[in-house]
Amino acid sequence: MNFITRLELSKYTFFCDNTVLSNFASVQEIDLLCHILSHVENAYTTNLVMNEFNRRFYEISIPCLEVKRVQSKIVQNLQRIEPYRRLGQGELSLFVLAKSPETTFIILTDDRMARKLFEKEGFQVHVTVFLLVLAVCFEIIPTKIAFQILEDMIDKGYYFKFKGEQDGLLKKIEDICGEK
């Protein structure tokens, strides 16, 4: 997704996985996540993703996400089939939601196997950094704060392939937002 406007983004529905939610929760930035997601048409997660999230962050709620119910039996049946058996119930529940052709959507996950599967199926997939980039594009936070939040996430265990390279994030900002 190259240069993006608020209007373009408002047409999308985001499906959020536990990895992305946990990155924001680990650095106490759920409010920032909600501010970013307020610019999209809808933002969803599933009951199975929230089960995973609540194992670690049981005291944190995410009011900006509507939780869609996916029956665990459907997901368990999928887990019996290759290549799905390597994914957790949260990722697979997003896959079930994404199969409905109702809307234009973006799946947000940092799980590498899930991203590969979703992309192979033709879904648009982005990671946590994409949300930080959007926050800069839409002037929710300045670039310097985005860098600090990313560093804090990395300190809490988030893997980012450009770790220590501010240029990697700057390039993503320029690719998505245009010159900043």
Q: How many CB atoms lie within 10 A of CB 31?
A: 11
**In contact, 43 and 65? CB cutoff 8 Å:** yes
Return the CATH number of 6-177, one of 3.40.50.1010, 3.40.50.150, 3.30.450.20, 3.30.460.10: 3.40.50.1010
Sheet containing strand 42-46, edge to edge, reads 66-68, 42-46, 13-16, 105-108, 125-126
Contact 176, 133 (CB under 8 A): yes
Give me the phi and psi of 106, to 5 degrees please.
Answer: -130, 130
- The number of C-alpha atoms within 13 Å of 17 and in the hemisphere containing its C-beta is 27
Kindly list the domain boundaries of the chain, sorted by start residue.
6-177
Give residue-wise pLDDT tens across range 60-114.
Answer: 999 999 999 888 888 888 777 777 778 888 988 888 888 766 667 889 999 988 9
pLDDT, tens digit, 9 for 90 and up, residues 147-163: 899 989 999 988 776 65
The conformation of residue 41, written as its DSSP 8-state character, comes to S
What mean pLDDT value characterizes the chain?
84
DSSP for residue 69: P
For residue 153, the surrounding DSSP H or E stretch is helix 143-155
pTM: 0.87
